[in-house]
Structure 1
Amino acid sequence: MFLCLNEDEKLKMIPSCDDMRCVLSYIRMPIRVVLFLTLTGLCVADSTGNLALGAAVVQSSTIYGGEAQRAVDGNMDSNWYHAACTHTNAERDPWWRVDLGQVYRVTRVNILNRGDAVPERINGAQIRIGNSLKNNGNNNELAATVESIPAGVIKTFDFKSIKGRYVNIVIPRSYGYLTLCEVEVFAEKYTPTYVPRNLALGAAVVQSSTIYGGEAKRAVDGNMDSNWYNAACTHTDMERDPWWRVDLGEVYEVTRVNILNRGDAVPERINGAEIRIGNSLENNGNNNELAASVESIPAGVMKTFDFKSIKGRYVNIVIPGRYGYLTLCEVEVFAEKYTPTYVPRNLALGATAVQSSTWDAGEAQNAVDGTRDSNWYDVSCTHTDAERDPWWRVDLGEVYEVNRVSILNRGDAVPERINGAQIRIGNSLENNGNNNELAATVVSIPAGETKTFEFKPIKGRYVNIIIPGRNEYLTLCEVEVFADKVE
């Protein structure tokens, strides 16, 4: 049994809903009606919510840190220099795509244009909607064309309903940059068309190490490009037993995993990899049940591994018993059915985070990426500048009754910097959320240790950690948030 939030934020039961991605999307956005469709086992909704909020996104290229996710993070700041907007490279036909996860009758798209400069770059962009990923989705039906959008303005494009899972924004027949500060997608109603559900798409991922910018999340971004040089694939360092792991967020009866191998070179590196599935994080999940072994995958080919169903939340790909690199261009995970086994859910994992300032590579998102490394030099922790009242905030996307927060402190040096930090929870963004209710105060956390703070439930969407009253750095290696009632 699962819970969805209706428009009045009351909890409603949806019996036997197999589509957990659907349920999770409804937990984080307002819904007028939530129904259960007996014949298909899918959640059905007449939704006025923004379907793009927090959804999986990808774009043709990324420069200056302008990640595709910035356009679906709910941040309505139109100043590029505030790290609020996407940014492709200067290229032919630049594009951006959001995967709604299911097929909807899309009727409206809102685009917030860059406000600080060059608003004319959006001129001529097309909105395309459909179910095909041919030409990266840019061949789908044309919904609207952008003549222009004034600087810093959000413009609404209404059109006849178009059935589609993918919404693309592309500037065709032109060489230039594509920058989007926010994109919102609205639908007339859900269309119960069957779409195979890749449970890994956009899920939280981590790997044993990262070099050459080959981040773990590249394998769950929906990009089917197998050319490493197009920034499309993961890449670990040369090491013993390299591994990669996706957290499905819930326990499923997994029956199939697809792996897209690198296509431009060294396809033999994947040989001998193992797919392991289970609920344990012992040995980083690499001791879980063996589902399948990879003998080989031809260059640029996606290979399917079918096996008897294995219950698990974590899917690992590991190359055991030798030194080597692990590179994955895409991993897809499919399940027979959802198993309603309770697993405490970290609401902060993969959520949108922001902080008062950023020093070096200590981005706010580092604290919600699922990495348990407490060494700052492994680029696994956040880091503000030295400033008065430094703060960090995570947006849970919906209001929860939060009753527990865990903080992993820096382990390699200066653990005392966290002393005196406050955890504040609420729904207000006055003073950046730092005026919300005080949940707990951090006396101290030993170097490299995780400390859990339990307190009476506090209703809130925003969880802040702030060091009040002094000039200091704020560094967080991981923050986990749990609620009284989630499922």
Structure 2
Amino acid sequence: MRFVGCYIDKKKRDLPVMAGSGSMSIPKCYRLCRAKRYAYFGVQYSKECWCGNSYGKYGKRSKSECRMKCSGKKSTFCGSSWRNSIYTTGLPARRRPRVSRLPLSRCSQHSVGWNGKCSRAIDGNTNQNYGKKSCTHTRTATGAWWQARTSRRARITSVRIYNRRDCCANRLRNFVIKVDGRVCASYRSSRAFSVRTFRCNAVGRTVRIQTRNRVPLTLCEVQVFGRYAKGRSRSRTPGMRFVGCYIDKKKRDLPVMAGSGSMSIPKCYRLCRAKRYAYFGVQYSKECWCGNSYGKYGKRSKSECRMKCSGKKSTFCGSSWRNSIYTTGLPARRRPRVSRLPLSRCSQHSVGWNGKCSRAIDGNTNQNYGKKSCTHTRTATGAWWQARTSRRARITSVRIYNRRDCCANRLRNFVIKVDGRVCASYRSSRAFSVRTFRCNAVGRTVRIQTRNRVPLTLCEVQVFGRYAKGRSRSRTPGMRFVGCYIDKKKRDLPVMAGSGSMSIPKCYRLCRAKRYAYFGVQYSKECWCGNSYGKYGKRSKSECRMKCSGKKSTFCGSSWRNSIYTTGLPARRRPRVSRLPLSRCSQHSVGWNGKCSRAIDGNTNQNYGKKSCTHTRTATGAWWQARTSRRARITSVRIYNRRDCCANRLRNFVIKVDGRVCASYRSSRAFSVRTFRCNAVGRTVRIQTRNRVPLTLCEVQVFGRYAKGRSRSRTPGMRFVGCYIDKKKRDLPVMAGSGSMSIPKCYRLCRAKRYAYFGVQYSKECWCGNSYGKYGKRSKSECRMKCSGKKSTFCGSSWRNSIYTTGLPARRRPRVSRLPLSRCSQHSVGWNGKCSRAIDGNTNQNYGKKSCTHTRTATGAWWQARTSRRARITSVRIYNRRDCCANRLRNFVIKVDGRVCASYRSSRAFSVRTFRCNAVGRTVRIQTRNRVPLTLCEVQVFGRYVGRTLKPSR
């Protein structure tokens, strides 16, 4: 980024693209225009950001005309009214591609009126008098149009239209311009025009002008400007070729319907190509059909396929029972061979009249029951028969031979399932003899099941398809139906995984993702998971017959009934939980001799007189705590309350593990003994009241399991060093935080800053550094102030640091030296106090010795100078005037490259003062914030040069 200058702007903008407006600053506008890949940007009127690749067509002005303060950063200037402060973005200016007039051909129009042919608009004659035979004319219609094409695909930047001038110019007041069917410009006005150029910026070949009102369309000349697309443009419909107009019937010529509604030829092409078909056909203006072969009903003349497409009226989409057929460019897929698959391992609902299940797969297609060739079950709702293929297969169809000697009407309402999924169904008042059902499902087990109360009789079942290649992967591996089980409020499967639109596969996925061994679907819409089931008993499958909300052909339990399945995962063993011994107790205070140890002595007597209960003094937040022998997962905490009196004191409290709340209780009813779920990891268990009462606990029992192995420390490398003295010039120089503080929190803060040591002081302060101990060590007893964020630990004291290691190596402090300054400037010069006096090496603080700078009286008076190259500036030292007027320098800021790095505001003046800065840049500026002259006797800058040039600033 580099400042170019202050330039004039006008309504036809010098920088044409507005990138933003509102709260604006120079860096923000830089980012906006650089992101758009422009070479220059300008800030104008304090809040506007403009971008472009060239500037200056209206001339340059003095910088003083661009002094309106930026709305987003008042210390910088953002142009003025119709004045741009222009900067570079660092990117090269993009060359504007050459645009020329593109020749048009192959014109057409809606209709021809008054002999106004379409070719008149592209004949090069721009005469606007209709009598000179230079203008087109259509008949009066809504949506009358004219179009022509470029020789090849092009980026069309603008379209120029010459309107009729001898009369009727007001007809051309409401129209659109389209390129390849997409609107790129429009016009709607009460005023007519003679010649007008419309910006378009679209890519295509066909340019169409179309009216939006009921008028004839007249155009005297149309000129198109742009540039041809580089190389050979890629077709949007590769491989598409018109085949012809073909007859269709109910048994479709192209069997797959891909879409219906607003239809066009390219849309149908995309739909059928996505399905990998070789041919597609558009029919009846709105239907799209796909297939790999065509023509079985014969070909017709193109004139019979002239119904306009519903999605694009300029093209034709077949007609009634006529397909306009095209190729998709894909090869026709060979229809895989389908054969009859042998069945075995049959079973059925029950056996009636000696009609065994094997009769349906014995190869005997005799349909007379007396010939012992038909199966028979007992009368029941949902009677079924099933058999299996030898391995997993894609089953395309199932053929059923019905009984013919009698009772054929029994087989009028049934479904066919493959691996439990319905693939075909039949419901009719007419019986059939032999019928083939399309199935198209993958699996092994074929089941035929009635939906009414009848016996099921099948004389033969034949299955057709092909075996799946290799071993196909099941979508629900390991899923198996277990049964219908009772549920109650305390759930049989404890975890709810989902509710709403539910199906068995969906619930399977939800519970398997949570690593549970079993799942159950209940009340049509609920999904429950767990690792065990059945504690309330099993019921008949007939009690789990509520249809799934997400798939009505399957059943998802019922009210308080779970249809339970396996997920295929092993049941996770519930880790053993035992009572954990507690020790090292403490409490808020002791009242009535109720020591803390009484709550962990094993005595559960709830009478205070038996010396088995603790007691604190009355206070808000009274607490009791104890520790486990090592880190553990605490699953629950059991509390025995006092029963002889005062049980209602324990009605509002929390339970914490290592300072984190894991359970709470708030009620108007007191309890005697209660177990609280916790599920937290730690050692220290604390019970703390939330109201002003004494805390009494008769026994506290903690249940859980110790963490396996050596638990991973949350504070690796932390070690207590000792208690050390601190002073105003800090032993550990960097303050990382203050307020609610604990040792682990301070550890994290200083470790994040990469320091080797940290110290906690005065209960609430956190200090960091790479060395310590310059004021000496003290006894640990002097660092016993309780931490504000964790009262059970100590955080130093007044001017005492409890110092710890962070586990990181101490960083070497980079060498800092005084950096020479040059190229100074200042707001103005008063009393001959030139800017160079502040960097001449003379630290005399008497103005009469000609060693101090001086500006005129102003708000925001400033002085600045630059280092020789980019540097990290760590501090700035200022020598103030001492002979008089030192109190003028009491309210100012120090900036590095325009960013404030230090500030001073006080009622007391100083003589010499060093300000911490820690900023990266070159230009150091000192600027007042009140209305005074600025006087500096010497400015010294300390830091180190940056070895590597940084990226452009944001």
Q: Same fold (TM over 0.5)?
A: no
Please, what TM-score do these two structures have when normalized by structure 2?
0.15
Q: Which has the higher contact order (CA 8 A, sep 6+)?
A: 1
In our comparison, the structure showing a higher alpha carbon Rg is: 2
